Amino acid sequence: MKNTLALTGNEAVAYAMKQINPDVVAAYPITPQTSLVQKFADFVADGEVDAEMILVESEHSAMSACVGSAAAGARTMTATSANGLALMWEIVYIAASSRLPIVMPVVNRALSGPINIHCDHSDTMGARDSGWLQLFSEDAQEAYENTIQAVRIAEHPDVLLPVMVTLDGFIISHGMENVELFGTEKIKEFIGEYKAEHSLLDLKNPYTFGPLDLYDYYFEHKRQQAEAMRNAPEVVKKVGEEFARTFGRDYAPGLVEPYKLDDAEVAIVALGSTCGTTKAVVDEMRQEGKKVGLLKIRAFRPFPRAEIVQNLKGKKAVAVFDRSDSFNAVSGPLYSEVTAALYQMIDSGSKVPIFNYIYGLGGRNISLDEIKGVFNNLLSGEVKNEINYLGVRE
C-alpha cells in the first residue's frame, strides 16, 4: 500500500533526512529553509533519529562543522538558502575539493540585494563552479527522492563529491502536495551503511587533512576533482535506475527529463518548479494539436551536454528559461551553457534557433499564459530578440 501524505517540500525533505538518519546534521536557520531544519530538529528532539544535531552560529560554521564531521567519516548533511549559502561560500569549495560526500538541500532563494526572500536560482547558480553536484527538483516528490539518491551518488567511490539538492523557495518548500513516502527500512537498505575510507577518528591510521598544497600538487588534485565530476553522470544514471527498480517507479531519473519532446517542433529548457508549470502548458497545447515539448534539466552539475544535444537536435526553435541572470552583459547561465553545448552540432551543419528568457527573479510569478506565449512565439517564428526578460515591466 502506498503511504501518501500531504507535505510541504521542506517537510518532505526533512522526512527524507529522517529516513536517511545521517550521523551529523549541522545547520543554521534561514528563510525559506527554516521549516526544513526545524522539522528535522523535531525528529531529533522526539528521539525519532539518532543523528547528532549541531546548532551553530552561522552558515560558515555550519559548513565548517560538516567538513570536520565528514572528514571524521560521518554521514553528514546540512541545508541552507541564498545568503546562508553565500556565507558558507569559502567552505563550500573546501568541502568539494576535500572530496567530502556531504548532502545539502538548498531551498532556492534570491540573493540580496535588494533583500528578498522569494525564489530564484541566483544562489545555487553562483555555486555552479564550486565542485558540488546540483540536482534540481520539480516538486516536493522529486525533492524527497533526490535527497535519498543524493546520498548514494555523493558517497559513490568514483564520485566522492558533495551534492546540493535544490527546491524552489516557497513554491516547493512551502507549497503542500501529496508526497508518496517510501518505507524507512527500504531506504536504509538502498543507501546502505556509509564506510568512509579515511576517518580522522581512526587513531591507528592517522592522516593529514587539508594541508597546504602549492604549485607542485594543487593542479593534480584539481585534475582528480575534475575526473570525479566526469564520473558523476554515469553514477547519477545508475543510482536513478536502481532507485526506480527498488521503489517501483516506472521512470528512472537521469540527468535530464524530456517531456513530449520526441516529435516536438519547439522546446523549452528549464530547471525546477517551472518544469511542472511548463508540463501543464505542454499538455494543454498538445490538445490543440501544437507540437511543443519540454527538456527538464535535473542535473545542472554534472552538466548533461550530450543529452542536451541529443534532445534538442532538429528542433525548429528552443527557448531556455533562466531564473537568474549572469550579469555578463549577455545572458542567463543556463542559456550560456546550453548554447555552448549546441555548438557541438555545428559539425552536422544544423543550427537550432535558440532564445533566452530570464524570468521569475525574486519570486516574480510565471504564469501558464506567459509560457504559452513563449511557445506560440517559437512556433510562429516571431521571437525578435535573442535575450528576453519575461514578466518584467518594460
Positions in the binding site for another protein (CB under 8 A) = 97-100, 160, 198, 205-211, 213, 216-217, 219-221, 223-224, 227-228
Cβ at position 192, least distance to another protein in Å: 20
Q: CB nearer to another protein: give 64 or 108.
A: 64
Cβ at position 130, least distance to another protein in Å: 15
Whole-angstrom Cα distance, residue 47 to residue 274?
37
Whole-angstrom Cα distance, residue 203 to residue 31?
40
Backbone region of residue 193 per phi and psi (left: phi > 0; alpha: psi in -120 to 50; beta: other values): beta
Angle at 183 between CA 178 and CA 186, to 5 degrees: 135
Q: CB nearer to another protein: give 209 or 343.
A: 209
Question: Is the CB of residue 4 less than 8 Å from the CB of residue 181?
Answer: yes
Place of cell 498538445: 286
Q: CB nearer to another protein: give 208 or 287.
A: 208
Cβ at position 371, least distance to another protein in Å: 43
Cβ at position 126, least distance to another protein in Å: 23
Whole-angstrom Cα distance, residue 147 to residue 248?
17
Q: CB nearer to another protein: give 99 or 118.
A: 99
- Other beta carbons within 10 angstroms of residue 171's beta carbon come to 24
Q: Which letter does DSSP use for residue 315 in this model?
A: -
Q: CB nearer to another protein: give 97 or 324.
A: 97
Residue 133's DSSP bridge partners are 163
Cβ at position 163, least distance to another protein in Å: 16
Strands 299-301 and 133-136: antiparallel
Grid cell listed for 215: 604549485
Cβ at position 217, least distance to another protein in Å: 7
Whole-angstrom Cα distance, residue 120 to residue 206?
44
Which residue, 138, 129, 75, is CA-closest to 104?
75
Backbone region of residue 170 per phi and psi (left: phi > 0; alpha: psi in -120 to 50; beta: other values): left
Q: CB nearer to another protein: give 9 or 302.
A: 302
Cβ at position 87, least distance to another protein in Å: 23
Cβ at position 240, least distance to another protein in Å: 24
Q: CB nearer to another protein: give 210 or 381.
A: 210
3-state SS assignment for residue 7: strand
**Alpha carbon 202 to chain centroid distance?**
33
Q: CB nearer to another protein: give 42 or 227.
A: 227
